[in-house]
Amino acid sequence: MLRRLFFLLPDEARAQRVVKHLVFLNISERNIHAVAHGAELENLPKATERQKNDTAFRVEGFLWNTNLLLFVIALVIFFISLLMTEFYWSLGALFVMSVTFFAGEHFVVNVPDVRLSEFSDALSHGEILLMVDVPAKRVAEIERAVHYHHPEAVVGGVGWTVDAFGI
């Protein structure tokens, strides 16, 4: 799983300079995605429709709701098995409840979350959003480099993405 860094820039020329600097830092252009409302980005790597529609947010919601549903089903099975004195079902239900609980806890604590809707005001005022996908170990390095060399770039946070799904 990659981390997605978000940078807001005031115009396309400055965004191009940031992209050139990121390429210099060995970030592939296919891992850089630009979003703007009402502007045709001629010289920037464009975001796909999935990225513009925040598909990662919908995937995250689906996984979270599925996890909660599994937990509730296991809880119901646990209470029914206690009433019926079927203790082997109780052990299975406790196992499923434990797995879903720890998976949810891991997700909440360790997976960063930023939504594109957080940038809608800035985008509606003509700013450009760069989404940069990097390995988790390079997040601090890339943020520091962009902040130092391009102080006009506003760091918008860190999210997650899975390269294989193109989201």
Residue 149, pLDDT score: 95
Q: Answer yes or no: do 103 and 125 share one domain.
A: no
Q: In degrees rounded to 5, what are phi and psi of residue 128?
A: -115, 135
Instruction: State residue 27's pLDDT score.
Output: 94
Please give the pLDDT value at position 111: 66
Same-domain pairing of 106 and 64 = yes
Examine the domain organization and report whether 101 and 124 are in the same domain: no
Residues 67 and 105 in one domain: yes
Give the closest residue to 6 by CA, choosing from 118, 137, 151, 163: 118
> Is 115 a member of any domain?
no
Residue 80 lies in a domain: yes
Statement to judge: residues 64 and 99 lie in one domain: yes
**Which pLDDT does position 16 carry in this prediction?**
94
- What integer pLDDT is reported at residue 63 of this predicted model? 83
- Please count the structural domains in the chain: 2
Give residue 144's pLDDT.
94
Residue type, 21: H
Query: Would the pTM of this model clear 0.85, i.e. be above it?
Result: no
Q: Which domain holds residue 33?
A: 2-50+120-165
Evaluate whether residue 18 is within a structural domain: yes
Cα distance between residue 53 and residue 84, in whole Å: 48
Domain membership flag for residue 103: yes
User: 19 and 40, same structural domain?
Assistant: yes
**What average pLDDT does the structure give for the chain?**
86
pLDDT of the residue at 148: 94
Residue 128's pLDDT is what? Answer: 92
Q: Both 105 and 128 in a single domain?
A: no
Nearest CA among 58, 64, 97, 93 for reference residue 79: 93
Residue 23's pLDDT is: 95
Cβ atoms within 10 Å, residue 120: 12
The ranges of the chain with pLDDT < 50 are none
Domain identity same for 125 and 157: yes
